[in-house]
Structure 1
Amino acid sequence: MSSDDVAHALERARVLARAGDDEAAKQAYLEVLQRDATQFDALNEVAALAYASGHRSAARTAYKQAVMCHPSNPVARVNLGNLLFEDGDLSDAETQFRAALRVDPDLPEAHQGLARVLAEVSDKAAALHWQKGFAGHAVVTRQYRGPGPSVPLLLLVDTGGGNVPTQQWIDERRYAVTAVYTEFYDPIHPLPPHAVVVNAVGDADRCPAALARAERVLALTDKPVINPPARVRATGRVENARRLARVPGVITPETRLLSRAALLAAGDLRFPLLLRAPGYHTGEHFLHVADRAALAEAAAALPGEDVLAIEYLDARGPDGMARKYRVMFIDGVAYPLHLAISADWKVHYFTAGMATNAAHRAEERRFLDDMPAVLGARAMEALAGVGAALGLDYGGVDFALAPDGSLLLFEANATMVIITPEPDPIWDYRRGAIDAALAAARRMLARRAGCGET
């Protein structure tokens, strides 16, 4: 291919991508790469397209190829680093961000990525990179991928994580998204044009400063807001345990936020006990402590200054298996999302072995098909009470059932993830429930933005 041919082929791929024809766009990019496997723009853009459509493995492969072929291009390294970070590969992500900074010491995106990595491992050097990465760069316009006019959307986010996952329901072919990193936004400046605001700062335990700044940002707008910060702030684990215990039919674990010294000195702890680092999810930094003899070692293994001491609620059924139900609350309606069944006390869908147990999948299917029949009247009333108490436009609750039909609360907040199943046919029974929840979120967003329902 001549340089003119490459430019023409790239433009064709971009036109197809903007028109929303992802498959045709991918083929057009691949045609360029068949002629020149090192072409940077094609590698970078096909990776971004794969990422946007949920094909993370393909995106990683293309970004790695871009780095291998263009090791001195900092953009390639930042893009790969961001994906590695999202996948939990902190060491390799740090390598990419530091390599990018050796090429361009002032690149904001590289400082941003490195700050996130260092913050995850509680490295105090993160503060310097937060400042270099976001000071003066608090507003980021994301690429609009639609073929026609867009709906402007303002997305409030936290620099250090703790954000609501929105990729599945904010369609970048319909909405032109401008992200505002609240901690670094100077309210002296007017906000970018927008029809609706989505507050994605979702973790009350991890992001108190970002939530406070989000409220200052929102003082500058009169547009509809999804998940106002004041409602999110009330969903910390300690606060939830206190206020949701007042909902009839809900059993919450006694939850205390303590320094390590206060934890070790506390004489009224009941064992077994759960210890958790505030602001972490998916079982990360979450430990079961059988007795006082194991307390000091467990506390020392957790990051941060403080720990959450959480009463252990036994979620095992008569068969000895622990169950965790997840229900989403979207625009005031409860949607069943999944049921994980595990022999482990720490129940998570991705580690529960649901793929290898047909009986457990059948039980989950019954829950998704008829939630009221499976949970019973007491739990359904409790669930409605939890949703009303939360008052979130988008959020969810994880829970188990007590023998009397009460709801055993694990957590309830805005950061619940809706993950689409793998293409394997064994998961076909889950698709309807997940599609229903995502469709509800999209309808809510469209209605609040004043652009009709989808």
Structure 2
Amino acid sequence: MSAHPLDPAAPDASIGLTALARMAFEGVDQQPLFARLIERAEGGDAVALMDLATMLLLNSQTENGLNVQAQALAAQRIYRRPSPVAGGSPLRVLAIMTAGDMMANTPLDFLLAGADAELISLYVDASGALPDPLPGHDIAFLAIGESEANQPVLRALAPRLAAWPKPLLNADALKIASLTRDGACALLEGAEGLVAPAAARLDRSQMQALADGALAPADVLPGAAWPLIARPIGSHAGTGLLKLDAATAVAAYLAEQPAERFYLSPFIDYSGPDSLFRKHRIVVIEGRPFVCHMAVSPRWMVHYLNADMLENARNREEEARFFAEFDAFAARHAAAFQALHQRLGLDYFGIDSGETADGRLLVFEVDVAMIVHDMDPPDLFPYKKPQMRKVFDAFQAMLKRRAAV
């Protein structure tokens, strides 16, 4: 059987996240490639297994994808995505990663779009063990994002990264580990021009005490009152996220949520004068902010995919204006972005944010693994690719500059 056009000729070369994601995003028939990868995997090809896992995860087959990924990692821990630029002299970028879904690691393959760069993915587990020798590389990047599952990996890695033989970005694993919802708000408490809502960890018995009236909001969050925001610890993308307006709502929430531990935060109304909510995804590269998207919605729980951006031309026009005027936004919030950079101490991270009624930057979440890409359809989002090119260029320039040191 002949190889699919995306199936690399080199037996040890991975197709990679970007090419596979573009297929899924654009509705390309994936079956021929899927069949070819299965054939290779049945012959014991771990690289094919890893690409299959990525395809499954991109197509929302999370359990199957993670199972196949585990099979690949049982066979080998290092994967190589070659440079897409023929005949160049690629920058060798080593990504220190861990097992997980699309939100487990910094999406370096997206951020390296168009770059003459070879991406070498080294997967580590909770033992923190690293190969000796390390794969050859010019620069390394600690790509593991904060999550409950990743905490043991980050903490095991921390002492092993101190004497890295090459430049290493986002090098402090404990700083990434501190980006829990309660950890991030503690780091950012009192920062000028910035609001990071407090977050408390409650177990199920404490939530039940709230439902029964034995605890009041102020007992778990100083100064808090109804409504509150609840989410299971370890959840992402709005899963299990709900606004609780009274104790009775807590009881109903617990009846639907089997989790044992929860985050609780005060609800902050960040709607504008038109009663619409606006949420931005911004990445910060060496202290400089870059916008990646801005969603507009009548719902307070805003996610780009539920914000009518595809269906509503006015929302897209507003996002395009926000992109065009972002330098003014960044200047208005310069103190907040400076505080984020200084207090977090990371070369690269992302935030989901809004603005409060009094004009402060409202930070919902901070992480190094937020998905950023340029795959939105250009006929509907003609302003997206130029903006994301700015992001990618800045990120790639950072890698080249730091690799040269």
Q: What is the TM-score of this pair, normalised by structure 1?
A: 0.73
Structure 1 match to 2:70: 112
Distance 1:244 1:205, change over 3 A: farther
CA distance in 2, matches of 1:112, 1:71: 13
The one-character-per-residue Cα deviations of 1:225-244 (angstroms, maximum 9, x if unpaired) are 11121321222110111221
The one-character-per-residue Cα deviations of 1:278-326 (angstroms, maximum 9, x if unpaired) are 3333223322223221213424544653211121111211211111122
Structure 2 match to 1:319: 274
Q: CA deviation at 1:185?
A: 4.8
Q: After the TM superposition, which residues 144-183 of structure 1 pair with which residues of structure 2 at under 5 Å, given as runs?
A: 144-145=82-83, 147-161=87-101, 162-170=104-112, 173-183=116-126
Distance 1:425 1:188, change over 3 A: closer
Counterpart of 1:55 (choices 23, 31, 39) is 23
Which letter maps to 1:51? A
The one-character-per-residue Cα deviations of 1:43-90 (angstroms, maximum 9, x if unpaired) are xx9977983573234373323444798996676777444412233223
Q: What's the % identity of the aligned pairs?
A: 24
Kindly name which structure, 1 or 2, has the bigger radius of gyration based on alpha carbons: 1
CA distance in 2, matches of 1:136, 1:64: 20
Structure 2 match to 1:335: 290
Q: CA deviation at 1:331?
A: 1.8
Helix, strand or coil at the partner of 1:239: helix
Which letter maps to 1:144? P
User: Is contact 1:47–1:59 with CA below 8 Å preserved after alignment?
Assistant: no
Structure 2 match to 1:100: none
Segment of structure 1 superposing worse, 287-296 or 440-449: 287-296
Structure 1 match to 2:221: none
Q: CA deviation at 1:218?
A: 1.3
Structure 2 match to 1:128: none
Structure 1 match to 2:401: 447
Distance 1:157 1:49, change over 3 A: closer
Structure 2 match to 1:191: 134
The one-character-per-residue Cα deviations of 1:382-427 (angstroms, maximum 9, x if unpaired) are 2332233222211122211112211222112212221214233231
Distance 1:416 1:78, change over 3 A: closer
CA distance in 2, matches of 1:153, 1:375: 30
The answer for unaligned runs of 5 or more in structure 2 is 218-224
Which letter maps to 2:97? V
The Cα RMSD (Å) is 3.5
Q: After the TM superposition, which residues 208-227 of structure 1 pair with which residues of structure 2 at under 5 Å, given as runs?
A: 208-227=151-170
Helix, strand or coil at the partner of 1:238: helix
Distance 1:91 1:188, change over 3 A: closer
Segment of structure 1 superposing worse, 73-82 or 139-148: 73-82
Helix, strand or coil at the partner of 1:350: helix
Structure 2 match to 1:256: 200
Distance 1:170 1:371, change over 3 A: closer
Which letter maps to 2:216? D
The one-character-per-residue Cα deviations of 1:150-203 (angstroms, maximum 9, x if unpaired) are 443322112234211111124685225141314245358342333221101111
Q: CA deviation at 1:136?
A: 7.4
Which letter maps to 1:212? R
User: Is contact 2:97–2:105 with CA below 8 Å preserved after alignment?
Assistant: yes
Structure 1 match to 2:364: 410
The answer for unaligned runs of 5 or more in structure 1 is 14-24, 30-39, 98-109, 114-132
User: Is contact 1:164–1:202 with CA below 8 Å preserved after alignment?
Assistant: yes
Distance 1:386 1:55, change over 3 A: same
Counterpart of 2:56 (choices 84, 90, 106) is 84
Helix, strand or coil at the partner of 2:30: helix
Give the aligned length: 383
Distance 1:59 1:197, change over 3 A: farther
CA distance in 2, matches of 1:293, 1:77: 48
Pairing 1:140–2:88 present: no
User: Is contact 2:95–2:119 with CA below 8 Å preserved after alignment?
Assistant: no
The one-character-per-residue Cα deviations of 1:245-268 (angstroms, maximum 9, x if unpaired) are 211121221211121112222412
Pairing 1:310–2:265 present: yes
Q: Larger helix proportion, structure 1 or 2? A: 1
User: Is contact 1:156–1:214 with CA below 8 Å preserved after alignment?
Assistant: no
Segment of structure 1 superposing worse, 307-316 or 215-224: 215-224
Pairing 1:365–2:305 present: no
CA distance in 1, matches of 2:246, 2:183: 26
Distance 1:92 1:386, change over 3 A: closer
The one-character-per-residue Cα deviations of 1:334-371 (angstroms, maximum 9, x if unpaired) are 11222111111210112101122222222222211112
Which letter maps to 2:271? R
Counterpart of 1:401 (choices 349, 355, 359) is 355
Structure 1 match to 2:180: 236
CA distance in 1, matches of 2:367, 2:152: 17
